Amino acid sequence: AGIDLEAVVWRESGRIGTYYLDFATPPRPTQAIYDRAGSCAALLQPEDISWEYLLGSRLLHLTGITPALSTSCAAVTAEAVRRAREAGVPISFDVNYRQLLWTPQEAAATLTPLIQGVDLLLCGLRDAALLFGCTGAPEEVLQALAALSQAKQVVLSTGEGGVVAWDGERVLQQPSVPVGMIDRLGAGDALAAGVIHGWLDGDLAQGLRYGTMLAALALSQHGDMVVVTPAELAALLAGEGGRLVR
């Protein structure tokens, strides 16, 4: 995939964390079973990180899953936030709550200080209520999250209702893309990727359009990795999807 592996921390021994998915259709939910305790990733320490390499970037993206894995991973995340702020590197943070990893109270206590003043905060409607007590209409939840976090820009996903966002001056709305769902896995990460893609170009509104389309692509395929070129994404947004391309 062309990913630079220079800063990967390799271990001589240890185990790889895994998780298993039990797929189902309504009314039975798809369930995940985690086996991550004691994995190499969970044992990561702040001193393991090549900070100069990590912060030589346009944006540092973090998620709420990492600090949930272990005490040391929480320390790594906090150190990443601290160093990024000192270096003036923008931070995006996806709350991404996982109830099988920690309780709402634990998550809120850890994540609330981490998200203060981030450049881009992403959160789901359910997570906003469960962790931070932000309830009401989507626009009200959005403003409550902005006040709680003091984030410069906030994106709130509402599922089938699409996304609403605060760009620092106004509320933006983007409906979801109708889709025949095959696999729910990866839709949230696809949304975040699209939003960040637009944000890096200085256009959050376009990022919302990218994100909702990528989320739809994730839902319409098996697996959690969406592979699409910028040209293909632009064609889909232009309404060329669904036809036979020869």
Mean pLDDT of the 187-197 span:
94
- Would you state the pLDDT for residue 240? 61
Confidence of residue 241 (pLDDT cuts 50, 70, 90): low
- Would you state the pLDDT for residue 246? 55
Q: Degrees (nearest 5) of the Cα angle 178, 245, 187?
A: 30
Q: Do residues 181 and 220 lie in contact, with contact meaning Cβ atoms separated by under 8 Å? A: yes
Confidence of residue 244 (pLDDT cuts 50, 70, 90): very low
Mean pLDDT of the 44-54 span:
95
Task: Please indicate whether residue 189 is annotated as part of the active site.
Answer: yes
Mean pLDDT of the 159-176 span:
94
pLDDT averaged over every residue in the chain: 92
- Would you state the pLDDT for residue 242? 57
Query: Where would I find the beta strands (DSSP E) of 114-169?
Result: 120-124, 153-157, 163-166
Residue pLDDT, tens place only, 5-45: 999 999 988 899 998 888 887 898 888 888 888 899 999 99
Burial class (CB in 10 A: 0-12, 13-18, 19+), 28: exposed
- Would you state the pLDDT for residue 245? 52
Residue pLDDT, tens place only, 138-148: 999 999 999 99
Phi and psi angles of residue 230, each rounded to the nearest 5 degrees, phi first: -55, -35
pTM of the model: 0.92
- Closest C-alpha among 22, 40, 41, 44 to residue 32: 22
CB-based contacts of 214, cutoff 8 Å, min separation 6: 190, 191, 193, 194, 226, 228, 233
Strand duo 18-22 + 171-174: pairing: unpaired
- Would you state the pLDDT for residue 76? 98
The strand order across the sheet containing 153-157 reads 60-63, 91-94, 120-124, 153-157, 163-166, 171-174
Catalytic residue among 119, 189, 201, 224: 189
